[in-house]
Every structure is written in C-alpha cells, then in structure tokens.
Structure 1
Amino acid sequence: MGREFELKLEIPAAAANKVMRLPWLWEQASGEMQPRQMSTTYFDTPKYALRQKGISLRVRRIGAKNIQTVKAITPRKSSPIDRSEWEREIGGQLPELRHVLGTPLQEFKRKKLRKNLTPVFEVKVERSAYPVLSANSAIELAIDRGSISSGDANTSFCEIELELKRGASAELARLARRLASEVPASLGLKTKADRGFDLRSDQGARIYRAEHVRITPRSRIGHAFQLIGWSCLRQFALNADAVRVGNFEGVHQMRVGLRRLQTVLSIFEHLIDGPETDAVEAELTWLIDELAPARDLDVFVEKTLSPLSEDAAEDAALKCLLENVKTRREQAMQRAQEATSSDRFRQLVLRTALWVLAGEWSDLAELEGVRPEARIENFARRTLKKHTRKVARKLREVRGLDVVARHKLRLAVKELRYTAEFFSDIFPSARRHQRRFAKILARAQDNLGRLNDLAVHRRLGQEFVQTWTLVDLNRNGAASNENAAPAIQYALGFAIGQEQHESEACVNAAYAISRRLKRAQYF
C-alpha cells in the first residue's frame, strides 16, 4: 500500500504556461520536465457501490503500460490530504480483481463485482511534471490539462497537483502559497473521480452536507483539529457552485459549514490562537454576513409568507407582499453570488486550507497548556463537560434574556451540538447516551432557532416599511402600487403577528430542556 499526500490547485488554462516559465520554480526544479499523455478509465457498478464506500478504481494507460489503481480515504489517515492507494501494472485495460486483496475492494465479493463493474467515464490528460526539491522536502509538481467524458457529456479542467514525496505538509503549503501569489489559483477540493461522477450524474450543482469525521480516542489533538477543520472547509467551499447558480439550500449548507468551522476555532482556541487565526476568523465572519440576508429572506418566504398566501388564496395584498419579498430575496442571492464569485472568496478558501494544514499553530509545541501531540480523549471530555454546563445554565435563564442574549444562546447550543458530533467516535461505547444527548440539543436548537426567526422577521418588517419598493403586481389584483401600500403594510403586520404567539411556547420549551440537559450523559 502506498500513501498519497496531494494538494490540488485549480487554475485558468491560460495560466498553465506562466507557471511553467516561473524562474524561481525552475531554480528549485530537479531534472527535466516529464510530459506525458495519459488516458484513464474509471470503473464502478451501475449503483455506484464503490463510490458510496469512498473507493475509486481506475485503469490508466501511460505509453504501453496499464496501471490499475485503487484509492480510498482510510480511517487512520494522518492528514486531511492523505489517501491510501494500491497500484499494480496489469496486462490489459480492464480491472484485474485478483489483485485487490489487501485493498478496500476485498470486502466485495469478487465474482459479483466482476460481473457488475462497468466503465463510468474516461479522463484524458496532458501532464507536465517537475520534481521540486528543497533542503527539507521533495515535491512533484504536475500541471494537468485534460478533459472528462461520459457518453455525450464532457468537461475540461486545468489544475496543479502538488504531491509530497518527502518532507512535511508545511512544504506543500509553502509552495502552494507562492504559486497562488503568481497566478489566480483556487483550492481544488474535487478529485478527477469527483469531477467524473458529477458529470455522470448530470444533476447540476450538488449540495454538500456535513461529513462524518472519524476521530478515535488515540487521535492527537492537532491531528483532530486538522481533520475536523478540513471537513468544515469542504462543506462551505464545495457549496459555492450551488450558491453561484442561485440555490438557496446551497446558501444554507455553506452557512452551516462556516458555523461548524467557527465552532472548531472556539473549541481548539488554546491550540490555534494567534494573528493568523484571527485573520481567518475575520474572513469567515465576512462571508457569513454576506450570506445572511439571502438565508433570512428565504426562511421568511418559505416558512411564513408562502404558507399564509396559500391559506388566503384570494388575498391580493398578501400575494403582492410575497412577490415583493421574493424580489428582495433574489437581490440578496445576487449579493451571495457576488461574494462567492469574488477574488476575496478564492483567497479565503485557499488561505483557510493552508492554515488548517500547516498554519503558524502547527510550528508551536505548546500553547496555553495544550500540546498538539497530546491525545484527544481527555481534551474532548473536558470540552464537552464545560460547554454542557454553560449551555444548561443559560437555558435556565432563557426567560429573562433579551433578543441578543437569546441569539448568543442559540449559537452556544449549535456549538455544543457540533462539538458532540465531532467527538462522537471518541466514545464508541456511549452511542445510546449520544443519541439522547443529540435529541435534547436538537430540540433546544429548534426552539431557539424559531425564536430567532421571529426576531429576524420583526426586524425585516421594520426594514420593509422604512425602505419600501413595491413590485408592480396589478396582474395579482392590486389596484396600484400607491393604493396597495397600506393594504400590503397591513398584510405584513398580519403575517408577522400570526407567528409571534409562538414566542412564549418556545421560551418555555427551552427552559424545560435545561433540566434534561443538566441530567444528560454523553460519555
């Protein structure tokens, strides 16, 4: 079994030649450029059984050779960019399954797998590879210009692969950072297999939800931070495509990924504290703020105005209000799209990735009494106990909290819930306790979330009245914009008033949950 430590950078095709002409890169290059033409076929079953297990199987033709490769992300990986791979030269262009012993494919019945395997897509690449050496590392820099085809569908790509052959991941980060200062490089989170399966599915921009992160009791604190942080980064960064095509669920899931990453910054603060972390946190906050209006207005439309409009089908004022808020929602979505399409976003994602992999924090042996090489179990116990006590205490005070304090409490509940999810595999014998703990937090989050929705809707209502721009909806029965304004303002007050009666019930439910949380066990 081999290990692959690889970082990808996506670049415009026009930038590839500039990279190959960088003087400082040639000074570090050892040996000649190695141009190669490669044709690779990926295989899976019709129901993508391998893909669902996180496994890829390919046969690559390079010259006269056929190389069969199995790749997988294994539970004991030592880095977020570490994958296990098994390579073997074979005689033909079809997989030879007798060679899969010792790989993740061995769990499949070979006869059944052989019968069901089929080519899924083909990748053709022109690769220019350079060995880049320094005193502390050996890195292969490969520029891949290629295309992926599946049936009549095809797409092209251009990317830089930085594969660590010797040395620390900090050297990969250093080289990636310098390349990104020369060309507009973006972090590449999708493998060629990912691109191929996306093309095959033909479902447009995917929605990426939180991934399960496997942290064992023997995991080191620094390693756990990297794995969890990288998972959160993937969730928010990969949803950018969905946001750019106007998908509101993409906005929601990007915000979830960002909030999860903020939780990581909070629970590991003594390990990662420093100016670089402060800069990353400031950029995450900027992006959350850019996405917030689209999410707030979408919730108002889908949870409040649309149901009311359906119940009062003949109410022209409600229809006019709904269309007006939808227009504002689209404007907010444009703001989110501009943010995720900006150079600032590109730099944010890459900067965050390099910080997770090899930020300043990774060079320090000890900060505030927390050692990166210490095991995670005791740290997880202390963290969960501390945050559980804090949240339970605040829930008991919920009846006396103002809107701002309730909002902070809601975020604290989210943080505790995410932390419990991050650390769940550290305590495998406590699954029953964990499920009960998760249900308690989910209910608290639902009630506090609804209270936050009510507060946001009141704020939106005030903003609408102060900055009203009506959409011409005469076709829906409004006499005119001028005459419709009082009726629509009344409809707005009616819509917001309809849900305010929920407030007391949500507060009482949150208060009751405090007793259950105080008694709950997690370990």
Structure 2
Amino acid sequence: MDLQSESSPAGEAAAQLVLEFALDPEAAQRLSRHGAISSARAGRTKSSAEELIWLDTADGALATEGLALESNRRGLRRLLRAMPAPGASWCPGQPPEELEAPSEEAATLVPIAAFSGRRSLIALGEVEAELLTGKLRAVAAEMPVARLTLRGTTAAVLARAAALADLHPLPPIASLAEEGRALARGEAPRPRRRGPPVLAGAATVEEALLAALGHLLEVMLGHAPGCRLGAGPEGVHQTRVALRRLRSVLKSFGAAAACPEVKEFDQGLRDLATALGPARDWDVFLAGTGAAAAEAIGDDRRLLALLKAGETRRQEAYVALRRMLDGPAFPRLVLAGLGLMLLRPWRAGPPEQSALLDQPLTEFASGLLDKRWHRLRKRGEDIAEHGAEALHEVRLDAKRLRYAAELFAPLWPGKPARRFLRRLAALQEELGLANDVAVARGLVGSLGAGVPAWAVGAVEGFAAARTGRARRHALEAWDELLGADPFWR
C-alpha cells in the first residue's frame, strides 16, 4: 500500500483502498442488517463456502521469514507476507501482501492451520464489502473468526467503516495466517510492531511522520486487548506509552502536520489518556508504594482496609477503561489516525507547510532536538533548589526530549546516541519515582472518610520518606546527563 501515491488530498480521497477489519463473530452476524449496510446495498449478496489452508516446513522456516503459503479450496496457492518486512512502511488494516508464485518445493510443505466458513460479497455503491466468517482450526484447538474487507475509494472506505463503529471494526492485530500459526503453537500472535518507531529509512519529514503514525497505531492496537482485569498491568502501561508517543509525534512534527484533522485526532488521544490514567496510577500505587508500605508496616488492619479500598478503585478504573475501548469511540479514533495517513490532510496547508513536509529529516530532527535540549537545560537550572512542582516540570520536559530522541536516534547510530538515551532514561526514571510518590499521596487522599485516617497518614508519611531518596538519585542522574554530548550535533 503506497501511502504517498497521489500528490493532493483530493487525489488521495479518490484513490482506491483495501482495508481489512476484525469483527467479533457475534457482531458479524448483525452486519447485513446494519443500517450502514442495508441502506446502501446495491444488489444481492453473493455467498459461497470457503476453505483455506496454511502450509509451512516442519521447522517453520516460512513463518520465521514472516511468510505463509496459503491454499484455497480449489488448490490454488499463493505466498503471502503474513508479517510486515522490517523497516517497511505499514498501515494498520493493510491486507497481507501477495508475493511471487511459490516454487515447486512448496509441494513438500505440511499443513499448519486451516479456516473453514463462508465468504460473502456485498456491493455498497462506491464500496464493496467482503465478509469472511467461520472457524480457524489447528490440530488441537479452534476459534471463531470474522474478517470484514472494504474496497473502494479511500474516503468512501473510511466513511463506511466509521458508520459501522458500533459493531467495533478494528484493524486486526495479526493476519489470519499468523493467527492460525499461533493457534497451532498455543501462543499469542507475534506483534507486527513494538516499541518506538524506527525512522532510519525515512528521507523527508512527511515520510517519517507517516511511518511513525502507522507504527504507533499498530502498537496501540496490539496492546489494547490486554487492558482488562486479570490480564496484568502491562497492557495498560504499554497502551499508555504508545499513546504518549503518538501525541509526542504530533507535537514534534508540529507546524508540518498542522490541520484541523490532527487536532481532532489529538483530542481523541487525550480522551483515551484520561481513561488510561486512573487504571495506571492505581496499578503503580498498589504494586509500588502501597506494597512497600505494607511490607514495612506489617499486616495492620487499617492499612489493609486502605489497600482494599485502593483495589476497588483500580477495578472501577479498569471497568471504565474497558467500556471506552469496547465502545464506538475507539474504532473512530483508530479510523481518524488511518485517515491522517491515507488522506494526508496537512497537504492542504500553505506552500511553506509543504516545503517543511519535504524537508530532509536529519535537518528537521536536529533543530527539534536542539530546542528541546535547550528547554530542558533551562528548566533544570538550579535543580537542587527545585520544589516538587518544579521537578515535575523538569520530568515532563525530560519525557518530551526522550520521546523525540528515541524517535530520531536511528538517524545518528552509534555510542553517543545510546549513551545520551541511557542517561536521559535514568533521569526520567528517577524523576518518575519522585512523581509516583506525589501521585500516591493524592490517591490515598482521594479515598475519603471510609478509610482509616491513620492508614492515610501512614502511607503519606512512608511516601514522603521515599521522596528524599528519589530526589537525590534524580540530581545525580541530572549531572550525568549534562556530561553527555548531544548526539545529533
């Protein structure tokens, strides 16, 4: 999928697009009766049985390369890229890429997993919808699946998907071939993208912006299913990190990406951050300050009552977060991000904005990093005299610099970049610990009269004692960072 195949927003809106979405099997049963489908139907639905089999060598050589050999019910085979190639541009919802015809050696491959079900084609004017429903099967396991593929002009496909938001269509976190492989092995599908985006292959500002958006949307989609009670804290933590990196990308590219659509997308990210915040804060408190206080003080019933009340708040925060992620707002947010990638609305701006988008990436990145480094140094002047609020501002500026430095460091590979990032991360970590303590005091204070006042005071006192240690380590980390040369100069 070429994200820059047209030169104008109008041309991109009319470009042809294919997007794939995962649907809950129960929601897929309601698709044909949905108003966005029934009102636009242009002819009878064509339905047929479908059988797919994915093959590989006994040692999984194709899967190791991110490939899968697919055979349909007529015996026709095609080689697919089930996992995106490292460094390649990626748009969530992009169907697996079909590669060259398989060689004769393919006859020696063995079946790994299979799909059986039905394929339905629905004509909707400018858009054609293809619904695949059935079961994914391996030797000892099976699971229901449903995939919706929309084909048509970019604008029409995005609009039709948005109209179906209450059915919760989301770009799948793995291809059917990869899900089948994972089912056969009894493991989770491999993530397409993880961590910060790697922009070493981007030549211009716009290429980097598109690559970062696609990467981080995929990371966020991959971690969002883990944001539920009983799944552990990592899903919330990593979803929040991906979201913060997304917002940092929008801010980093600033004037280059300025347009109303970016502002609207950023507002949606802010709303999701508001829902993620309480769940993450209670996770950190209960596993950090709360657990440490319980270990130091012992099994005092008053402290146990406080921790029990905190656990109740954590569960409430998770329920509220899950309600948002399972509602139509989350698919609309993802579609808004895809719209930015596919329609590039910033290209409707003035000529100077287009010139900035076409600027060499290294030139743009070094200027941005210089500004953020200068701002952090200025904020940290006389840091030993800073109070809690001023240290919090230093932490925020360190975080902004770290996200930008992680984003652009691959443009300057080598030890200086690794050393700078390591020292910057250490500073942010220590300042974060000090901030966690401040957050903990606010959390226990919010529990109200139902919690023994002694327990609140005990935790606040315990947290205050930890603040001094975190502050000392933060000052040491600050001195270490000042000794690291900026790698982008």
The farther-off stretch of 152-161 and 2-11 is: 2-11
2:475 counterpart of 1:508: yes
Equivalent residue in structure 2 for 1:233, among 217, 221, 234: 217
- Displacement of 1:251 in angstroms is 0.8
In the other structure, the counterpart of 2:28 is 13
- Displacement of 1:300 in angstroms is 1.2
> What amino acid is aligned across from residue 122 of structure 1 in structure 2?
A
Equivalent residue in structure 2 for 1:469, among 450, 454, 457: 450
Q: CA distance change for structure 1 residues 401 and 468 in 2, over 3 Å: closer, same or farther? A: same
The CA distance in 1 between the partners of 2:37 and 2:456, in whole Å, is 63
Contact 2:56–2:69 at 8 Å: present in 1 too? no
- Displacement of 1:307 in angstroms is 2.9
The CA distance in 2 between the partners of 1:21 and 1:454, in whole Å, is 52
Q: Within 5 Å, which residues of 2 pair with 1:95-494?
A: 95-96=106-107, 118-129=110-121, 141-162=129-150, 171-182=153-164, 184-190=167-173, 191-200=175-184, 202=186, 210-211=194-195, 213-216=197-200, 219-247=203-231, 248-364=233-349, 366-368=351-353, 370-427=355-412, 430-464=413-447, 467-470=448-451, 485-494=452-461
Q: Percent identity?
A: 22
SS at match of 2:441: helix
Q: CA distance change for structure 1 residues 440 and 334 in 2, over 3 Å: closer, same or farther? A: same
> What amino acid is aligned across from residue 225 of structure 1 in structure 2?
L
Equivalent residue in structure 1 for 2:52, among 26, 37, 40: 40
SS at match of 1:187: coil
Contact 2:21–2:169 at 8 Å: present in 1 too? yes
Q: CA distance change for structure 1 residues 418 and 44 in 2, over 3 Å: closer, same or farther? A: farther
- Displacement of 1:43 in angstroms is 3.7
Q: Deviations over 1:337-379 (max 9, x none)?
A: 2222222223222222222332422444745464434432221
> What amino acid is aligned across from residue 148 of structure 2 in structure 1?
I
The CA distance in 1 between the partners of 2:348 and 2:213, in whole Å, is 17
- Displacement of 1:260 in angstroms is 0.4
> What amino acid is aligned across from residue 487 of structure 2 in structure 1?
Q
Q: CA distance change for structure 1 residues 333 and 447 in 2, over 3 Å: closer, same or farther? A: same
The CA distance in 2 between the partners of 1:239 and 1:75, in whole Å, is 20
Q: CA distance change for structure 1 residues 359 and 407 in 2, over 3 Å: closer, same or farther? A: farther
SS at match of 1:268: helix
The CA distance in 2 between the partners of 1:504 and 1:75, in whole Å, is 40
- Displacement of 1:299 in angstroms is 1.0
In the other structure, the counterpart of 1:56 is 67
- The count of corresponding residues between Structure 1 and Structure 2 is 468
Q: Deviations over 1:125-165 (max 9, x none)?
A: 4223468897xxxx76432223211233222222222357x
From the CA coordinates, give the structure whose radius of gyration is larger: 1
- Displacement of 1:68 in angstroms is 4.0
The CA distance in 2 between the partners of 1:70 and 1:346, in whole Å, is 25
> What amino acid is aligned across from residue 341 of structure 1 in structure 2?
D
Q: CA distance change for structure 1 residues 347 and 80 in 2, over 3 Å: closer, same or farther? A: closer
Contact 1:205–1:241 at 8 Å: present in 2 too? no
- Displacement of 1:309 in angstroms is 2.1
The CA distance in 2 between the partners of 1:174 and 1:278, in whole Å, is 22
Contact 2:79–2:98 at 8 Å: present in 1 too? no
Q: CA distance change for structure 1 residues 450 and 144 in 2, over 3 Å: closer, same or farther? A: same
Q: What runs of 5+ residues in structure 2 fail to find an aligned partner?
A: 4-15
The CA distance in 2 between the partners of 1:357 and 1:397, in whole Å, is 46
SS at match of 2:149: strand
The CA distance in 2 between the partners of 1:210 and 1:70, in whole Å, is 18
The CA distance in 2 between the partners of 1:414 and 1:52, in whole Å, is 35
Q: Within 5 Å, which residues of 2 pair with 1:74-89?
A: 74=85, 77=88, 80=91, 84-88=97-101
The CA distance in 2 between the partners of 1:209 and 1:26, in whole Å, is 38
- Displacement of 1:288 in angstroms is 0.8
- Displacement of 1:510 in angstroms is 4.5
Contact 2:52–2:115 at 8 Å: present in 1 too? yes
> What amino acid is aligned across from residue 13 of structure 1 in structure 2?
A
The CA distance in 2 between the partners of 1:2 and 1:268, in whole Å, is 21
Q: CA distance change for structure 1 residues 71 and 341 in 2, over 3 Å: closer, same or farther? A: closer
Q: Deviations over 1:211-239 (max 9, x none)?
A: 45342355332221111112111222322
The CA distance in 1 between the partners of 2:249 and 2:19, in whole Å, is 22
- Displacement of 1:311 in angstroms is 4.1
> What amino acid is aligned across from residue 69 of structure 2 in structure 1?
R
Q: What runs of 5+ residues in structure 1 fail to find an aligned partner?
A: 97-113, 165-170, 471-484
SS at match of 2:143: strand
The CA distance in 2 between the partners of 1:21 and 1:453, in whole Å, is 48
The farther-off stretch of 287-296 and 329-338 is: 329-338
Q: Deviations over 1:273-293 (max 9, x none)?
A: 122111111111111111111
- Note the aligned Cα RMSD (angstroms): 3.6
Contact 1:208–1:253 at 8 Å: present in 2 too? no
- Displacement of 1:522 in angstroms is 3.8
The farther-off stretch of 400-409 and 385-394 is: 400-409
- Displacement of 1:487 in angstroms is 4.0
SS at match of 1:423: helix
- Displacement of 1:436 in angstroms is 0.5
- Displacement of 1:418 in angstroms is 2.1
The farther-off stretch of 433-442 and 311-320 is: 311-320
Contact 2:41–2:125 at 8 Å: present in 1 too? no
> What amino acid is aligned across from residue 468 of structure 1 in structure 2?
A
The CA distance in 2 between the partners of 1:264 and 1:390, in whole Å, is 18
Contact 2:49–2:117 at 8 Å: present in 1 too? yes
> What amino acid is aligned across from residue 497 of structure 1 in structure 2?
A
Contact 2:193–2:218 at 8 Å: present in 1 too? no
